Amino acid sequence: MSTRRLFLRGALGGAALSATHAALSAERVRPGSLLGLPEPVLQTTPDTQAPLAPPNGRPYRPVLTLNGWTLPWRMKEGVKEFHLVAEPVVREIAPGMKARLWGYNGQSPGPTIEVVEGDRVRIYVTNKLPEVTSVHWHGQRLPNGMDGVSGLTQPAIPVGQTCVYEFVARRPGTFMYHPHADEMVQMAMGMMGFWVTHPKQPHPHIAQVDRDICFLLNAYDIEPGASTPKVNTMLDFNLWTWNSRAFPGIDSINVRHGDRVRIRIGNLTMTNHPMHIHGHEFEVTGTDGGPVPKSARWPEVTTDIAVGQMRQIEFVADELGDWAFHCHKSHHTMNAMGHDVPNMIGVKQDDLAREINRLVPGYMAMGEAGMHEMAEMEMDLPDNTLPMMTGTGPFGPIGMGGMFTTVKVRKDQPPASHPDGHRDPGWYRHPKGTVARFMGEGETLPDAPRAPASPHAGHAHPGGDEVELKVRKPGHHGHHGH
C-alpha cells in the first residue's frame, strides 16, 4: 500500500465550503485547496489485504475484502475524511491476464469504506478519468444533494476537479458506491466499491461474528487477446468475476472450525447470480435495505442476488474440508468462453482443432466427449487470455473458472485477530476412508431392483416392444353430456 499527493494546478488557498452548504449539496473543490485534503492511498496488488483495525473513532470489528482492501481515513474535528481518486487502473483478473479498467485508488473495485453508525463522513472524490463522473452512495439515507446523480442532484465532476460529499451514516448495513454519470461505460469499466456501516451498539438483528468478508460481483466482455472491456455489451459477457478476479485468481476464504462467518455480496453485473455454498447451510441475515429479523430467516444453501442487490449470509463453519463456493449458473464458472463454440460431442477430432488453429488463430471447439478435457489441454491461446477452465486441486484439474472459490475450514486456523488469521492453510488432508474411491477388484455391483410389471403385460404392440401413447385432448364440457 502506498500514498501519493495529487499535484494539480491552481491558486493556493481555495475558499472553504460553509458547513450548511456542504451538508445540503455535493460541491466541487478548487484544485488549489487540494493541499489540505487527506493524502490519497493507493493499492495495486490484487492480493487480499488484512482487515484494517480502526486507529481512531468508534471501535468496530473490521471486514475482510476478498482480493481487496479497506480505505484508511483521517479524523478532522470529529469527521472521518476519505479521499477517493477515480482513475484508469490495470487489474490482474487472474495470473496470465490483466485488464485495463477504470476504478478508484489504483484498483477495480475501489477500496471498501468502513464507518460506524452515527459517524459524520466527508469523502473527497478527485476525477482523473478522461470524462466527467460522480459517485452514488447506493442504499444510503442522506440529504438529496449528496445522492450523486449527475444532472439531477449535483453537477457532474469535471476532469481534474474534486468534489466533496458529506453526510451522516444513519443506519447500519452493507452498501455500495458507483458512478451515476455515463454509468453504462463507467460501471462496465469496473467503477464500483463496497461500503459497510457497522452498528454503534449491540443490535437485535446483527450478530457478532468471527469472520466478516465482503466482495462485489462484476462481469466484463473482453475479447481473447485484448485487455479493454467492450462497454456496449448487454448480455454476452465472457468474464464473470468477484472483485474483478476470476478463479483461480480469487483467493480462498480461510476460516477456523466453529467460526460464525458472515459474507456480504453485492451484485453490480447485468444479470442475477444464485450463490451456492457446499457442505453448510446459511441464512440470509441482511439486504441493502437492512438487517433481516430472525423471524423472517430460513436455512438455505443457495440465494439469488439480483442486479443492484446486496445479500448478507451467515453460517457456522462446522464441517472440515475445502468446500466449493460459486455462482450456480454453470457458464458463470468459466472464463473467456466464445458464444459461438460449436458442439462437437461425439465427433472424432484428433488434432483437427490444432490444425485449424494454425489457419484461424484463436479457434476453439467443444471437446469430443464434453468440455472437461479442456481443463487438461495445453492449447495455444492469444496473449493475455485465460483458459476457459483452469485451476488445479489436490486430485487434478478442477475444471472451473469465473465466479468460483473455496471455503477452507480448519481446526488449526488461527483466529481472525491473529496476524496469520486469514492465511491459506493449503489443501485439506482427508482422514482415511473419507474420500470417494473407485470400485475395487472383485467388488460387484448390487443387483438392480426389478421394475414393476406393466399393466399392459401380455399385450405386445404389433410393431414390437414400443408402447403407443394416446392423448385425449380436452373437447366438449361435461354439461353437454359427453
Question: What is the CATH number for 169?
Answer: 2.60.40.420
Please say whether the beta carbons of 399 and 377 come within 8 A: no
Could you tell me if 176 and 323 lie in one domain? no
Residue 76 lies in a domain: yes
The string of DSSP letters for 11-80 reads -SSPPPPPHHHHHHB-EEE-GGGGGGSPPPEE----SPPPP---SSSS--PPPEETT--B---EEETTEE
Residue 460 lies in a domain: no
Average pLDDT across the chain, whole number: 85
In the structure, what pLDDT confidence band is assigned to residue 375 with cuts at 50, 70 and 90? Answer: very low
Could you tell me if 144 and 273 lie in one domain? no
Could you tell me if 166 and 232 lie in one domain? no
d(C-alpha 173, C-alpha 287), whole Å: 8
Range of the domain at 224: 216-410
pLDDT at residue 386, as a whole number: 85
Residue 432 lies in a domain: no
Please say whether the beta carbons of 54 and 198 come within 8 A: no
C-alpha cell at 20: 450548511
d(C-alpha 70, C-alpha 112), whole Å: 5
Could you tell me if 222 and 191 lie in one domain? no
pLDDT at residue 23, as a whole number: 39
Could you tell me if 139 and 250 lie in one domain? no
Residue 241 lies in a domain: yes
Could you tell me if 87 and 184 lie in one domain? yes
d(C-alpha 436, C-alpha 323), whole Å: 15
The answer to whether residue 366 scores a pLDDT higher than 70 is: no
Could you tell me if 337 and 231 lie in one domain? yes
Among residues 136, 167, 202, the one where a domain terminates is: 202
Could you tell me if 226 and 195 lie in one domain? no
pLDDT tens track for 61-110: 999 999 999 999 999 999 999 999 999 999 999 999 999 999 999 999 99
In the structure, what pLDDT confidence band is assigned to residue 186 with cuts at 50, 70 and 90? Answer: very high
Q: What is the percent of the chain with per-residue pLDDT over 90, rounded to a whole number?
A: 68
For the chain, how many structural domains are there in total? Answer: 2
Please say whether the beta carbons of 1 and 42 come within 8 A: yes
Residue 177 lies in a domain: yes
Among residues 410, 443, 460, the one where a domain terminates is: 410
Bridge partners of residue 410, in order along the sequence: 256
Could you tell me if 167 and 220 lie in one domain? no
From residue 49, give the alpha-carbon distance in Å to each of 153, 218, 244: 35, 20, 15
pLDDT tens track for 149-171: 999 999 999 999 999 999 999 99
211-220 and 64-65 beta bridge pairing: parallel
- Angle CA(390)–CA(395)–CA(400) in degrees, nearest 5? 25
Could you tell me if 111 and 189 lie in one domain? yes
Entry pTM: 0.82
Cell 423472517 found at: 296
Residue 270 lies in a domain: yes
Residue 475 lies in a domain: no
The string of DSSP letters for 106-161 reads TBSS--BEEEETT-EEEEEEEE-SSS-B--EEET----TBTS--BTTTB--B-TT-
Residue 189 lies in a domain: yes
The answer to whether residue 15 scores a pLDDT higher than 60 is: no
Among residues 173, 202, 231, the one where a domain terminates is: 202
Could you tell me if 173 and 273 lie in one domain? no
- Angle CA(290)–CA(293)–CA(294) in degrees, nearest 5? 140
Q: Is 338 helix (H, G, I), strand (E, B) or coil?
A: coil
pLDDT at residue 394, as a whole number: 95
Q: Is 444 helix (H, G, I), strand (E, B) or coil?
A: coil
Could you tell me if 164 and 257 lie in one domain? no
pLDDT tens track for 248-262: 999 999 999 999 999
Q: What is the percent of the chain with per-residue pLDDT over 70, rounded to a whole number?
A: 77
